[in-house]
Amino acid sequence: MPKAFPAELRPDVVAVARLGEAPLRQIAKDFGISEACLHRWLKLADVEDGVRPGTTSRESAELRELRRRNKVLEQENEMLRRAAAYFAKGRLVTPVSVCRGRSSRMPECR
């Protein structure tokens, strides 16, 4: 499992790396992270800043929430479909059943 770094560390490291005053290997060593981790952070920062195409963390969170909401709505829809089918079973109203025992003056019983 990757080592967790404080959330405040990432923007600082990215800012130092973007200055370009030192090689990435040295910056990674100074902050106690791997060079691969630094490269990944730089890519993510580029996506967040719109420099590189990709899905931002905000878009990813929104997509996750929309998928969760869609799943809930699909489950509710299925439940309503089943309930409608259950209540519709054997409850079809036919003209004969409506007119049984009623006056023939009703328009539907003629």
Per-residue pLDDT of the chain (110 residues; tens, 9 = 90+): 667 888 888 999 999 999 989 999 999 999 999 999 999 999 999 998 888 888 888 999 999 999 999 999 999 999 999 999 888 886 655 556 556 666 656 565 55
> Closest Cα to residue 16, out of 31, 34, 3, 5?
31
Answer with the one of 34, 54, 74 that is the final residue of a domain.
Answer: 54
pLDDT the model gives residue 7: 81
What is the domain extent for residue 24?
1-54
User: In the structure encoding, which two tokens stand for residue 79, read together?
Assistant: 């439940």
Whether 67 and 74 have beta carbons less than 8 Å apart is answered as no
CATH of the domain at 30: 1.10.10
Q: What angle do CA 103, 104, 109 make, to 5 degrees?
A: 110
Pair 63, 48 in one domain: no
Residue 107: per-residue pLDDT: 61
Task: Give me the number of domains the chain comprises.
Answer: 2
61 in the same domain as 48: no
Say if residue 82 is exposed, middle or buried (CB neighbours under 10 Å; 0-12, 13-18, 19+).
Answer: exposed
